Amino acid sequence: MELYCFGIIITIALQLIQLQLQLVCFRSKCRIYLIFLFRRRVLRVVLLGLSGSGKSCLLQSWKNDPQLPTYPTIGFNVVTMQRKNATIQFWDVGGDKRLRGLWRFYVTGADSIIFVIDSTVRDYNQIQETKFELHTILTNNDLKSTPIIVLFNKNDQVNKMNEEELEEEYKLKAVFQKRKGKTIMVSANFLNGVEDVMKCITKGK
């Protein structure tokens, strides 16, 4: 009888230990899940465009920080913004002709690429120059899975081209049928399109 009772006690003790281990495992899994669910992602977004396209002005207006420089970027400038569950690092890369050869190093491993175009430019040579640099990025096989957002800036100006004209001028409709990308009309002065840009970045579209 004593041996029988002892056996029952041992069995119950083992079951309790097993239950305790299961609870520990469950708590651990819950903790990992919650960390994953609420962790803050860090997204690296590279901002490209020719000098004068307004990249730095856009960043200043998005960040609402008058201390950010708006003169032409020499090298690169990193601006960090917090958006819900994501930390976005904008790498504003200089658009001077001498610096464009370095763009390929900055875009490697980026979560998204933003290419800013001045929508008021109608000069043929400048448009061709912008188109060449843009399509060099768009057709880079190493970036085929990287979302590229083309921003037509200064859309508050009266002499701007409309979105349809710009997409046709820069030959973008056919390109974005084959790869991840989007065009958005924006303005640094009135924050037009900023929410669309942020949604594209955080959703990876």
Q: Are 113 and 148 in contact (CB under 8 A)?
A: yes
Question: What are 89-107's pLDDT values in tens digits?
Answer: 999 998 888 889 899 999 9
Annotated ligand binding at 109? The verdict is no
Annotated ligand binding at 21? The verdict is no
Annotated ligand binding at 154? The verdict is yes
Alpha-carbon distance values, 205 to 99, 111, 123, 130 (Å): 27, 10, 31, 23
Annotated ligand binding at 28? The verdict is no
Annotated ligand binding at 111? The verdict is no
Question: What are 5-29's pLDDT values in tens digits?
Answer: 555 566 655 565 665 656 555 565 5
Annotated ligand binding at 101? The verdict is no
Q: How far apart are CA 92 and CA 56, in angstroms?
A: 7
Higher per-residue confidence, 71 vs 199: 199
Annotated ligand binding at 49? The verdict is yes
Residue entry with tokens 């919650």? 34
Annotated ligand binding at 51? The verdict is yes
All structural domains of the chain with their residue ranges: 1-39, 40-203
Number of alpha carbons in the 13 Å side-chain half-sphere of residue 26: 6
Annotated ligand binding at 145? The verdict is no
Annotated ligand binding at 182? The verdict is no
Q: Are 112 and 150 in contact (CB under 8 A)?
A: no
Q: DSSP state, 160?
A: P
Buried/exposed 185-200: b ≥16 CB within 10 Å, e otherwise: bbbbeeebbbeebbeb
Annotated ligand binding at 56? The verdict is yes
Annotated ligand binding at 155? The verdict is yes
pTM summary value = 0.77
Class (C level, CATH) for 40-203: alpha beta
User: For residue 44, which amino acid is it?
Assistant: R
Annotated ligand binding at 153? The verdict is yes
Strands (E), 84-187: 86-93, 112-118, 148-153, 181-185
Mean pLDDT of 135-160: 93
Annotated ligand binding at 156? The verdict is yes
Q: In what order do the strands lie in the sheet with 148-153?
A: 76-83, 86-93, 41-48, 112-118, 148-153, 181-185
Query: What pLDDT, on the 0 to 100 scale, is given for residue 19?
Result: 56
